[in-house]
Structure 1
C-alpha cells in the first residue's frame, strides 16, 4: 500500500475529454444519484443504510449511517427543549449550518465511491481509476484498488474513516466561517464541558432500548476524530451478535431526526410543554410522573432543506504515513455510555433552567 501511494504521489490532472462515452455515462449517473440523495440528513442517512443492505461488505456504510443518525439528532436538538434554550436564533442557525455542511460534504465524497464500487461489482471490473473524476482523494483510489484485490473489510472501513475526517479538516474544522462562531464559541465549550457530544448506538435489549457509544471531547483534533471512528467501528462490528442487534434496531426504526426514534419514554416529537415554562423533568433518564416528555422534533419540522455551494476542491492526502492508522488496535471497547449520557442530560437540563443566570 505504501508503495502504491508513493507511485501515485504525483497528481496528474484529470480531463473527461479523454474518457469513453460509457465512462462518462457512469460518472454522470453517479453524480445524479448522489445529488438525488444528498438533500438532507434524513435522506443521506437512509441512503447509507440502503446501500449497506445491498453491499454488507462495505462496513463504513453502516458506520456512516449510525453516525449520521447522531448528526440528525444534534441538528434537531437545536430546536428541542434543552440546547435551544442556551442559544439565540442566530447561534442556532450557525450551529445548524456547521452540522449540515459537514453532513453534506461527507455524503458527496463517500457516496460516489459506493456507487462506483457497485458498478465495479455489476461489471466485475476495476473502475477505480475513475475516482479522481469524482474529486475523490488519491488515498482512496489506492485503498479501493487494494480492497478489490484483497477484500480486507477492516482496512477499507478505517481508511474511509481517515479519508472523511481528513476531508473535513480544512473544509469545516479550520474554516474561518465556523472556527470562531462554532468551535471557539462559549456554547460549544459548554456542550463539551457537559459531555453532550455523545455518539449513541441504540439496540434492543429485551423489551427496552439500550445505548452503547463513545464521547468525543476534542472535536477540532483530527487524530482524536480518527481514533473515535476506529472505536465506533469496533463497537459496531467486533462482536457479531452485538452487530446483529444494532442492525436489527436500525432497519426496524426509520431515521426521522427526533430522539424519539430511540427513547419514546423520554422524548416526543410533539411539544407537550407549556410555552415559556420549563420545570425539571428528568431523574435517572426517566421523565418524572406527571411531567411532559422532552421535545425533540423531526428534522423536517425543525429545519428546511439547504442549497449548498459546491464542495471546495483539493486533495487532503500528502503523505503515506496516514496508513499507520490502519493498524488494528486490540483494545477492548465496551462502549458503556448510558450512565454518562443520562448524567449529561440532567446537567443540560439544569443549565437550560438556569439560562437567565448564565447569560446575564
Structure 2
C-alpha cells in the first residue's frame, strides 16, 4: 500500500523546500576562494574520470569504498558495468551478424552519451558530499555551480541531516532518469536513429536489456557466477526506467550476504567491458572462431555445446575509441512546485517484485539471438 502517512509527513519538508523557487543562478553570488577552489577541483576530477565507460565505472566503485553509506554509488557502478557490456556486445560474436555498421555505431553513441551524461551530473554531487564530510560542513549550496537540479539540493540537505541512504538513492534514481530524459531521450537524433528503430524494439523482445549483478554463491566456488538482475521493459519510458532503478536497488540491498557477494566480486574483478569478466566459461575477449565461416549454434542452457568455441566478447578499448562529448544543456529538469508530490511519490511508492531467474532469462536471450543469426544466415548466406 506504499509508505505510511507518517513517511509522507517526513517527506513534506522536502516538498516545501522544493516549492520555494527556481534553481539559483550559477553566478548569482561570488564564491569565497576556498569554495571556488573546491568547485574547480571537482570539475577537474569529474573531467578526468569521465573519459570512457571503464573510467566512470571504476570511479563509482572507488567512491563507494570510501563512502558505503551512499548506496547509489554501488548501484551506479554495477549498472555502468552493464552499459559497458552492452557496448562491447555491439562488436562481439552475435550482434554484428544482425546489425549494420551504422546501427552498431548509433547504438554505441546512444549508450556512451547516456553513460557520460549521468556521470557528468552525478559525480560532482558525490565529490561535493565527500568534501562536505571532509570539512564537516554542508556545501550543497554549491551544487548549482555544476548545473545540478535543485531537486537534488533538497535531497542532499535531507541526507546530511537524517542519513537516509534509501531516500537519497531513490532521489538520485529519479534525478538521473529525469536528467537523461531532458538531455537525451527527447533528442530527435537519438529518437529516430535508435529509440524508434526496429532493432531497438527487437532487443526488448529478445531481452538483451537485462541488467545483471554477478556474485559467487556460498558453496559454489568452482561453479559459474550466479546472476541477479532485472530488465527494462520499455526503455523509452521515464517511469519504467525509474521503476527499474528502484527494483535493482531493492534487489541489491534486500539481502546482506548476496550484496556482500556482489561487492566482493566487483572488488576482485576490474571492469574490462568484456562479458568474460563474469562468465569466462561462455565468453572470451579473443576471437576463437575462424573468420568467414558460417555461424553454428554454440550455447544451450547456459553452457557451450560439445566442441563449441566460446563467444567473442571484446574488452571495451578493443572495441571502441574514446568519444569527445558536447557539453550538456543548461536546463533544470525539475518542473517546479506543481511537480513536487508527483516526483516524491516515485520515492514513496513500494518497489514491485524483481525478476526471479536472471540467469535463465539471459541464457534464453543468447539462444534467441543465435536463432536469429542462424535464420538470417539461411536467408542471406554466411555472415
TM-score (norm 1): 0.97
Q: Distance in 2 between matches of 1:250 and 1:58?
A: 16
* Residue among 223, 242, 247 paired with 2:263: 247
The equivalent of 1:178 in structure 2 is 190
Structure 2: which 5+ residue stretches go unaligned? 1-13
* Residue among 260, 267, 273 paired with 2:276: 260
SS of match in other structure, 2:19:
helix
The equivalent of 2:250 in structure 1 is 234
How far is the alpha carbon of 1:355 from its aligned partner? 2.4
Contact 1:235–1:335 (Cα < 8 Å) also in 2? no
The equivalent of 2:318 in structure 1 is 301
Which deviates more from structure 2 when the two are superposed, residues 324-333 or residues 343-352? 324-333
How far is the alpha carbon of 1:327 from its aligned partner? 1.2
* Residue among 188, 192, 211 paired with 1:199: 211
SS of match in other structure, 1:112:
helix
Relative to structure 1, the CA distance from residue 335 to residue 136 in structure 2 (aligned partners, 3 Å threshold; closer, same or farther) is farther
Matched residue count = 359
Q: Distance in 2 between matches of 1:180 and 1:356?
A: 27
The equivalent of 2:11 in structure 1 is none
Contact 1:183–1:220 (Cα < 8 Å) also in 2? yes
The equivalent of 1:210 in structure 2 is 226
Relative to structure 1, the CA distance from residue 330 to residue 258 in structure 2 (aligned partners, 3 Å threshold; closer, same or farther) is closer
Q: Distance in 2 between matches of 1:335 and 1:124?
A: 43
SS of match in other structure, 2:251:
helix
TM-score (norm 2): 0.91
Per-residue deviation, residues 82-111 of structure 1 (Å, max 9, x unmatched): 111111111111110000000000001000
* Residue among 360, 365, 373 paired with 1:352: 373
The equivalent of 2:330 in structure 1 is 313
SS of match in other structure, 1:317:
coil
Per-residue deviation, residues 314-339 of structure 1 (Å, max 9, x unmatched): 01111212011111526554642111
Relative to structure 1, the CA distance from residue 96 to residue 154 in structure 2 (aligned partners, 3 Å threshold; closer, same or farther) is same
Q: Distance in 1 between matches of 2:79 and 2:250?
A: 13
2:329 aligned with 1:329: no
The equivalent of 2:289 in structure 1 is 273
